[in-house]
A and B are shown apart, each in its own frame.
Chain A
Amino acid sequence: MNKSGLLVRLAVVIGFASLAIGFLSTQLFYRITVNQEINIANQSIESLFKTVQATAATAAYLAEQDLAQEVVDGLTTNDVVRNVVMTFEGKTVRANEEPLRNPVTFPIASLFEPDRAIGEMQIAPNIDYIKTRAEQLAGENSKAMIMQAAVVTVVAIFVAFYLITRPMIMIARALHRTTPGDGSRLAVPDFHGNSELGVLVSDVNKLLDKTEAQFSQERQLREEIEALEKRFRMLFEKSISPIILMEPRGNILLYNSAFEETLEKLGKSFRKSFGPLLEDLFVEPEALASSVEMAFANDEIATGEFRLRSDKETESMWAQVIVTSIISDDMREYYQVTLHDISKRKRELDLLAYQADFDKLTKLHNRQGLEKHLHNLIDVNTPFTLVLMDLNWFKQVNDIYGHKSGDEILIFVADKIKKAIRPNDLAGRWGGDEFVLILKNADQTQTTQVVERLVRLISKPYYLRKFEQNVTIGASAGAASFPTDSSELQALLHLADQAMYQAKKVKDTSPEDFLRFAEPIDVEQDNA
């Protein structure tokens, strides 16, 4: 049994209380008994005196010492009497030599004249005997009290156990076994429907009800939060676009797997920081930085398209970068950076631009591409010489051997152009069998060198595999220079065209004269 259990404590307390009460009442009873016994002894002494009064009076009256001695000796045979002393007519008669303690004194009157005092008798009670008797009585009483205390203790423990402790222990055990949320409730102990214990049980059950309701509410809430969290995480983790949360100085706090994939594509391994605004990842971090600075200055979300720096020899990667400044609750600033991979779109756009500006057959710039370049050069005022070149005898080849053979010839010519021009020069197909060379910073000598080299290359016989036949073509070219001949494109084109036409006229008569330079513009003609 539990040493600090209720029942043990109760038993100990009741036992001690009973013992204490028993002890105290025994003490009290002893004192009362002693007093009572002394009273009783005094009474019996009085009656003893009355018994011997006549004899004593006679002895005193006649001064008969022998008779008096007989009286006092007789009295001392009584248990309650310790000693008796009689005095009369100057004589003293005593039963023994014991000192007289607390004696009771009786006057002795004459038998014949009650008013005439003739002596006195002192009777000393036997205090020791009285006390012994009182102790005996008190002892018996103590035994009775202890028995009573024991019986009361047992009864109290029994009652307490069956009425209080056992129901309480049952309640406590039931409560101990109860887990809030399992729906179990405590049973009201028998005969305790309206007692405090019954009220306690019903209150505990109410508490369990409330707790359970709260539990299920909390569980539901937690589940909702978990679901929401899961979705958020999914949103974040499964996002195709890399999302990074970072400090303005560049420390990355949070990133998703898409960012890792992007790093892998770029051939980089993850680092804690790629510099402010991930500058290490971009080809032009300054552009990104200034764009972000500008947007933030206007309290806007920074967005822009920037090329990513790749450590791999792969296709270029572009990203739409969205940088948002977030101020947390504790007033700290964070940047949320989202990278949208726009490489594919960029490539498509590039392809479109390429298709728009290049000739599909020869892979040279087409007319539009050439014009764009020419405009650019004019805009930035870069001197160049425009050479317009037309193939000779191409029409015949085309007619005789068909379009495919013609295309072969065109590709062949394009190859030769690529070989002939200088690295900074640009060439393209103007249309049909017309080609354009843009020779930057070239004077007439340099122009002549390039064109001569080219014409020599394309004038070599070309073997048509299909027809097992060699064909030879030639070319006539006209050149006009910016800004010496004109600063306007149309004029330059016109001048080059005219010059080429002059060369064309002599292609059969003097084939070596395949290049003509633009004539100085007639002022009147120009005005017309």
Chain B
Amino acid sequence: MLGLTLIKAVALAGSISLSGMASSTELVVVVHKDNPTETLTRSQLIDLYMGKYVAFPDGSKAQPLDIDNDEATKEQFYKALVGMPLNRVNAYWSRIKFSGRARPPVAQQDQQAVLSYIESTGSAIAYIHENNLTDNVKVVYRFDE
């Protein structure tokens, strides 16, 4: 599993110039450290990110975050989460954009911006590289599990 991820990271590093740093580490899904949610299932995570539910399992409002400038990470995340390339995920969102309640995740610049958004917003949820973990967030989902 580790080896495979490495090969993927190397391939991505070649094609995407922007994120040369630390992209080879595992992605984790984090929330504010005070968020009552301790852990999420994959389905719960998908429902949050794909717009089905905008609340945590306990009923509190949830705000998923995307990282726009680090496409490699975003791609890695969606691939791991729903097995889709980004263009299909984007197509999904464009299909439902005008139809109703579902809203795509709020986009942030990078992982630092994500981390600061979570620190200031208790309902936020986001994906980051494991090596970027801080004490202010807690991991609710790991892809390697």
Q: Which residues on A are within 8 Å of B, measured CB to CB?
A: 55, 58, 61-64, 66-67, 110-113, 116
Instruction: Say yes or no: A116 contacts B95, CB within 8 Å.
Output: no
B46 part of interface (Cβ distance < 8 Å) = yes
B83 at the binding interface (Cβ < 8 Å): yes
Q: Is the CB of A66 within 8 A of B100?
A: yes
Interface residue B51 (Cβ < 8 Å from any Cβ of A) = yes
B7 within 8 A of A: no
Given the complex of chains A and B, what is the CA–CA distance between A58 and B84 in angstroms? 14
- Contact A58-B82, Cβ < 8 Å, known A113-B43, A113-B46: no
Q: B100 contacts which chain A residues (CB < 8 A)?
A: 62, 64, 66-67
Expressed in whole angstroms, the Cα–Cα distance for A353 and B82 within the complex equals 173
A112: contacting residue among B81, B95, B102, CB under 8 A: B81
Q: Which residues of B contact A62 (CB under 8 A)?
A: 51-52, 96, 99-100, 102
Could you tell me which residues of chain B, from 40 to 69, have a CB within 8 Å of some CB in chain A?
Answer: 42-43, 46, 50-52
Q: Which of B99-142 contact A (CB under 8 A)?
A: 99-100, 102
Contact A112 B46 (CB under 8 A): yes
Add 8 more A-B contacts to A62-B52, A116-B43 (CB < 8 A): A58-B96, A64-B96, A66-B99, A67-B99, A110-B46, A112-B81, A113-B43, A113-B82
Closest 7 CB pairs of A and B: A112-B82, A112-B46, A67-B99, A64-B100, A62-B102, A64-B99, A62-B52
* B143 at interface, CB cutoff 8 A: no
* B110 CB, nearest partner CB in chain A, Å: 25
Known: A61-B50, A62-B102. Is A112-B84 also a contact (CB below 8 A)? yes
**CB nearest neighbor in B for A114:** B83
Residues of B within 8 A of A111 (CB): 50, 82, 92
Please tell me if the beta carbons of B99 and A112 are within 8 angstroms of each other in the complex: no
29 contacts between A and B (CB under 8 A): A55-B95, A58-B92, A58-B95, A58-B96, A61-B52, A62-B51, A62-B52, A62-B100, A62-B102, A63-B52, A64-B96, A64-B99, A64-B100, A66-B99, A67-B99, A67-B100, A110-B46, A111-B50, A111-B82, A111-B92, A112-B50, A112-B81, A112-B82, A112-B84, A113-B42, A113-B43, A113-B46, A113-B82, A116-B43
Residues on the A chain within 8 Å of B95, using CB? 55, 58
In the complex, number of A-B residue pairs with CB atoms less than 8 Å apart: 37
Most B CB within 10 A of own CB, among A62, A63, A110:
A62
Residues of A within 8 A of B81 (CB): 112
Q: How far is the CB of A230 from chain B (nearest CB, A)?
A: 128
What separation, in Å, do the CA atoms of A113 and B41 have in the docked complex? 13
CB of B127 to closest CB in A, whole Å: 15
Q: Which residues of B contact A55 (CB under 8 A)?
A: 95
B82 (CB) vs chain A CBs: closest residue: A112
* Bound CA span A116–B81, Å: 14
Q: Using Cβ atoms and an 8 Å threshold, which residues of chain A touch B92?
A: 58, 111
CB distance from A429 to the nearest CB of B (A): 186
Give the chain B neighbours of A112 by CB distance below 8 A.
46, 50, 81-84
- Chain B residue, CB-CB nearest to A65: B100
Complex interface: chain A residues within 8 A of B46 (CB): 110, 112-113
Neighbouring B residues of A67 by C-beta, 8 Å: 96, 99-100
Query: Chain A residue with minimal CB distance to B84?
Result: A112
**What CA separation (Å) do A112 and B79 show in the bound complex?**
10
Enumerate chain A residues within 8 angstroms of B50, measured Cβ to Cβ: 61, 111-112
Contacts of A63 in B (CB 8 A): 52
**Distance between Cα atoms of A55 and B94 in the complex (Å):** 12
What separation, in Å, do the CA atoms of A62 and B84 have in the docked complex?
Answer: 18
CA of A116 to CA of B47 in the docked complex: distance in angstroms? Answer: 12
| A residues less than 8 Å from B83 (CB atoms) | 112
Q: A425 to nearest B CB, angstroms? A: 184
**Nearest CB in chain B: distance from A15 CB, A:** 64
Minimal beta-carbon separation of B77 from chain A (angstroms): 13
**Complex Cα distance A111/B46, Å?**
10
CA of A62 to CA of B50 in the docked complex: distance in angstroms?
Answer: 9
Can you name the residue of chain B whose Cβ is closest to the Cβ of A70?
A: B99
A61 to B47, CA, bound (A): 9
Contacts of B82 in A (CB 8 A): 111-113
Query: How near does chain B come to A324, taking the closest CB pair, in angstroms?
Result: 140
Q: Please name the residue on chain A nearest to B49 by beta carbon.
A: A112
Assembled-state Cα–Cα distance A66/B96 (Å): 11
Chain B: minimal CB distance from A316 (Å) = 160
- Measured CB to CB, the closest approach of chain A to B33, in angstroms, equals 28
- Provide the bound-state CA to CA distance between A64 and B82, in Å: 20
CA distance A112 to B89 in the complex (A): 10
Q: Inside 8 A of B51's CB, which chain A residues have their CB?
A: 62
Residues of B within 8 A of A113 (CB): 42-43, 46, 82
Q: How far is the CA of A113 from the CA of B50 in the complex (A)?
A: 12
B43 contacts across to A, CB distance below 8 A: 113, 116
Task: With both chains docked as a complex, state the minimum distance between the C-beta of B99 and any C-beta of chain A, in angstroms.
Answer: 5
The listed residue with most B CB atoms (<10 A of its CB), out of A58, A66, A112, is: A112
Q: Which residues of A contact B52 (CB under 8 A)?
A: 61-63
Report the Cα distance A66→B46, complex, angstroms. 22
List B contacts of A110 (CB < 8 A): 46
How long is the Cα–Cα vector from A111 to B83 in the complex, in angstroms? 10
* Minimum CB–CB distance for A291 against chain B, Å: 152
A111 to B47, CA, bound (A): 11
Report the minimum CB–CB distance from A86 to chain B (whole Å). 15
**Bound form: Cα–Cα A111–B100 in Å:** 18
Complex Cα gap A110–B83 (Å): 12
| Interface residues as binary, B66-97 with A (CB distance below 8 Å gives 1, 0 otherwise) | 00000000000000011110000000100110
Q: How far is the CA of A45 from the CA of B45 in the complex (A)?
A: 34
